[in-house]
């Protein structure tokens, strides 16, 4: 088992829900990314998603688009993200997933990118724009490297397509609880329980629910229906607000700790 699988197995054994946190790598710089990752580990985060900056992040709302722009402006590249993960691994074994667009893998070469990611200490890839129907070679390379291909399922995904996608995922399945792009919402979707039940009919993997979870109360509410919740934009927004502050890490990790405590309170 890789770190993702080990973490979810430990959560299941303890009867606990998990917290997946997303941030943009290199926002405001890669040293901040390293420090935030270590602070998140201490704050109770179970999986860290690092968004690799890309010029056309089509699945992202404005908050995460701006984070990608700041990452590019800080000089962040895929090799530098991997080098940062090497530094994180010197102090932490937090499971790490790269949230990435296929163009970045294609430019390097899919086989080489997967090999380099595994060597750096990455545990999984969430390739936003790679359809499962075109993923056979990618999945075999991921399996050989011991990495988890994480797939998205949305409210609009037909039943037949859920049956196709769910068995091919590894590590966990990411359920996108709302239509559209990433972003904070004032309330959570009322179809989460129904959709997670549909997914479970096709896979025993843990389900992590994201898109729109903005505070501890929403985290607690959604965690009742999933093995984990994903929070991104609400955290990225705080990084944007405090990115130039000396206490950036403390401010952001304090909010993340609130989320972790809320999720852990659900049994």
State yes or no: is 49 an active-site residue: yes
Count other Cβ atoms within 10 Å, centred on residue 7: 24
Query: Per the structure block, which two tokens stand in for 78?
Result: 């895929």
Using only C-alpha atoms, what is the Rg of the chain? 17
Q: Tokens 């294609």 sit at which residue?
A: 106
Count other Cβ atoms within 10 Å, centred on residue 192: 21
Per-position DSSP letters for 115-152, written without gaps between them: HHHHHHT--EEEETT--GGG-HHHHHHHHHHT-EE--E
Query: Which of the residues 5, 41, 46, 49 is marked catalytic?
Result: 49
Quick one: CA dihedral 200, 179, 256, 34, positive or negative? positive
How far apart CA 251 and CA 242 sit, in angstroms, is 8
Query: Which of the residues 27, 60, 123, 227 is marked catalytic?
Result: 60
In sequence order, what are the residues at sequence separation of 6 or more whose Cβ sits closer than 8 angstroms to the Cβ of residue 219?
A: 19, 213, 229, 231, 259, 262, 263
Q: What is the 8-class DSSP label of residue 168? A: G
State yes or no: is 60 an active-site residue: yes
Which residues are tagged catalytic?
49, 60
């Amino acid at each position: 088992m890789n770190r993702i699988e080990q973490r979810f197995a430990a959560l299941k054994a303890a009867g606990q829900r998990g917290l997946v946190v997303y941030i943009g790598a290199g926002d405001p710089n890669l040293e901040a990314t390293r420090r935030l990752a270590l602070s998140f580990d201490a704050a109770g985060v179970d999986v860290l998603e690092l968004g690799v900056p890309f010029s056309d992040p089509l699945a992202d709302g404005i908050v995460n688009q701006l984070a990608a722009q700041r990452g590019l402006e800080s000089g962040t590249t895929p090799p530098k993200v991997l080098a940062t993960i090497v530094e994180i691994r010197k102090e932490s074994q937090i499971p790490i997933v790269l949230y990435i667009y296929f163009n970045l893998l294609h430019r390097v070469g899919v086989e080489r990118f997967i090999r380099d990611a595994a060597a750096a200490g990455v545990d999984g890839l969430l390739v936003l724009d790679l359809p499962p129907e075109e993923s056979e070679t990618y999945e075999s390379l991921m399996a050989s490297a011991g990495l988890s291909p994480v797939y998205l399922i949305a409210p609009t995904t037909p039943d037949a397509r859920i049956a196709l996608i769910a068995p091919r995922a590894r590590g966990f399945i990411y359920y996108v609880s709302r239509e559209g792009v990433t972003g904070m919402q004032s309330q959570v979707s009322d179809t989460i329980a129904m959709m997670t039940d549909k997914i479970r009919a096709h896979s025993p993997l843990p389900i992590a629910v994201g898109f729109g979870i903005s505070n501890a109360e929403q985290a607690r509410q959604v965690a009742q229906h999933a093995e984990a919740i994903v929070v991104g934009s609400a955290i990225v927004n705080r990084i944007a607000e405090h990115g130039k502050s000396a206490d950036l890490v403390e401010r952001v990790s304090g909010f993340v700790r609130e989320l972790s405590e809320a999720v852990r309170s659900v049994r």
